[in-house]
Chains A and B, each alone.
Chain A
Amino acid sequence: MQAIMQIENLSKHYDNFDLEDVSFSIPYGSIMGLIGANGAGKSTIIKTILGIAHKDSGYIQIFGRDDIEDNAIKEKIGVVFDGSNFHPAMTPKQINKVLADIYTNWQEDVFYTYLKKLSLPEKKKIEDFSRGMKMKLAIASALSHQPELLILDEPTGGLDPIVRDEILDMFLDFIQDERHAILVSSHILRDLEKVADYITFIHNGRLLFSKTKDELIYDYGLIRCTKEQFSSIERDDIIACRRQEYSCDVLTADKAAAQRKYTDCVIDNVTIDDIMLMYIKGERQ
């Protein structure tokens, strides 16, 4: 499958944090969810991809080229950062004029359609906007210059479920075109479970996995067992486990095989939340 973005062995060193050898790729027509706890390295990856932090080593190819400084590539990328993106003293109407002068493919009509659809007043200053409105404006702006790739850093953080749902719908609309793709980082995993096709999990600056969401949800399972039953589980079947006083929860990558092998244990379905928790808090084998 052809990738809109390919990252290989990306490393970035800070005094108190290292991002090491991260590799993943995003196929055309898909949404990649970048997950991990706060400080795991999600934002560092995004900043390095966008060239606003300099990578120490590795290879980042977007649209088949390893040159994020090329304006032709930047034209095709829509970016939304967590928190503020625009000057609080400006209005959406002014932002339209500024961005129209910057992006060759800026579509004023599309921008105003988004403002209307998202109930954003065009003449009100951004400082008077709620957090949700600011985020909607940032997404509307990112979508109004015919981008093919959207890169979003925590776009739904701190928003109420209704606004989050509206934003997720916008992502799904965008991805209807198979030439498009989205890289979205979030620690609200329920959102990603709704829209993402792939999940890349970063922990302490290292890649734990990059897999399809379906593989995680349908293949992974949670074995609920007693301490005695736990001792009979083969090490190869255990990704991580959490021991409690009388019982154990075991994350396994092959739920179907576990159901056949461990008939006396309860095997539950997993959510992305469960997987993340097991990887971070559990004992890994």
Chain B
Amino acid sequence: MKGLLRKDIYLAKDTLAIMLLLGLIIGVSLSFFVPSGVFIPLMTAMLASLTPTTMNLDHTSGWNRLQATMPLTKKTIVMGKYITFTAHILFGYIIGFILCFLMNLIRKNMTPDDYFTFSIIGLSFAFFSGCITLPANHIVKNEKMGIIIFIFSYFASAVILLGTGYLLLKVFLLNLQKDFYIIGWILLAFSLCLFCLSIIVSFKTYEKKELV
């Protein structure tokens, strides 16, 4: 496992600086028009995209094939990607949070509730997208499809997020103002549950996969 994580760090290192710079430029530009909190989902999403990128690289470089011959169980290989993905999300979230905080020192347009809202949106979006992207990347065989699925996964995440929110408000009759924090925590917990369930799907998919 350690070797796989180390390999993903080496691969991510190459694109990390560009990602951070890009995120910073987009975030700073956007935060003049929208609250500085935009940094949080933006950086979380950008860093989360590193994992599907490494999965594509694993495929195109032939590493996928080689690692299957190494003393690693299939479970380890699958879990390695989930750990990498979670680490990328958390790293992106922390960076986004710090940038948001720093920008807010200048703009002063964020309340504590805004920090919470943007954090929940950023993290839930990323975990929802992960539960689609990671299993799907074991199925698709080309780089383009991997990127399309990653983009699509964010659209799907928005639908899941809105759908869950709608259910909480209309079916379970929660109140947005009164139950603001409960709704947020439920959304995050739901995204984490789906993310964890997707590990089983990924494992089943990878087990059947032929690395030819």
Contacts and interface: CB of A to CB of B under 8 A. Distances in A.
Interface of A: 47, 50-54, 69, 71-72, 74-75, 77, 79, 81, 83-90, 94, 97-104, 151
A90 B10 contact: yes
Interface stretch (B59-67, B116-124, B126-134): B59-67
A71 B3 CA distance: 15
Nearest to A14: B212
Q: Is the interface on chain B under 10, 10 to 19, 20 to 34, or 35 or more residues?
A: 20 to 34
Contacts, number: 82
B7 A98 contact: yes
Contacts of A102: 3-4, 70-72
User: B interface, by DSSP: helix, strand, loop or mixed?
Assistant: helix
Contact of B71 (A51, A71, A97): A71
Q: Which 7 A-B pairs have the closest CB atoms?
A: A101-B3, A102-B3, A71-B71, A84-B62, A101-B2, A74-B71, A79-B69
A52 B211 contact: yes
A74 B69 contact: yes
Contacts of B61: 84, 86-88
Given A71-B73, A75-B71, A87-B61, A98 B3 contact: yes
B113 interface: no
A72 B62 CA distance: 23
Contacts of B6: 97-98, 101
A81 B10 CA distance: 22
B68 interface: yes
B69 A53 contact: no
B4 to A, nearest CB: 8
A101 B57 CA distance: 20
B62 A51 contact: no
